[in-house]
Amino acid sequence: MSFNYNRKYLFLAGLAVLVVVTGYLQYSYRQNHPAAADGAGNSDNAVYVNQDAGVTDVALSTASGTGAFFVQARLDRESLRAKNMEELGEIRDNETVSTEIRNLAYERIMGMLDESDKEMKIEALLKEKGYADSIVIFGKDSVDVIIKGGIMSQAQATQIADIVSRQGSMDMAAIHIRSLE
């Protein structure tokens, strides 16, 4: 019985760390980018970069400034993750549910924590490489990376894809990179 409580506290501690990190990132971003804090900003364009074809001419319109986009994307990602973790935690702790389903819920929780860890590592490495801001979103069979900046070269896209491939254990073909101006 105490093992269940230890897992529960580990899960809650992990969730608390995610909330604190998200709050810190938002605070530090607003300190460095005052325009994002008051919602100011122009409409920006996203440019899709395909690994095989290089930079394309297709531009996707965004509704707000890039600073606000990255902050909102992080908040949405963490909010959805927290909601899913809570629901899975309830399933895992419900003793009326079969052991198999409870184990699947536990495995999914651990998978979500692993994805979160990978996203944070990739975003930190991209920042270290000089990319002002980024958001990494893992899907079922792919990963999307959105980078703040203008049109990027094939070498830059390859560098980003290499980081994501190594840290995220993803095949290069499953990595989709976009750039927001």
Model confidence pLDDT, tens digit, residues 74-89: 899 999 999 999 999 9
The amino acid at 51: Q
The tokens of 41 are what? Answer: 């900003």
Distance separating alpha carbons of residues 34 and 71, to the nearest angstrom: 12
Higher pLDDT, 131 or 7: 131
Q: How far is CA 128 from CA 76, 77, 147, 150, 179, in A?
A: 24, 22, 13, 18, 17
The amino acid at 57: D
The tokens of 51 are what? Answer: 């690994």
State whether residue 146 is helix, strand or coil: strand
How much is the CA Rg of the chain, to the nearest whole Å? Answer: 18
Residue 70 binned pLDDT confidence (cut-offs 50, 70, 90): confident
Q: Is the pLDDT of residue 90 over 70?
A: yes
* CATH class for the domain made up of 2-180: mainly alpha
Q: By C-alpha distance, which of 107, 168, 108 is closest to 134?
A: 168
The amino acid at 54: G
Mean pLDDT of the chain: 77
Q: Is the pLDDT of residue 110 over 90?
A: yes
Query: Are the beta carbons of 9 and 61 closer than 8 angstroms?
Result: no
The amino acid at 59: A
Which run of H or of E encompasses 105? helix 99-128
164 C-beta neighbours (distance < 10 Å), count: 26
Residue 71 binned pLDDT confidence (cut-offs 50, 70, 90): confident
Q: Is the pLDDT of residue 145 over 90?
A: yes
DSSP bridge pairs for 143: 138, 175
Query: Are the beta carbons of 180 and 64 closer than 8 angstroms?
Result: no
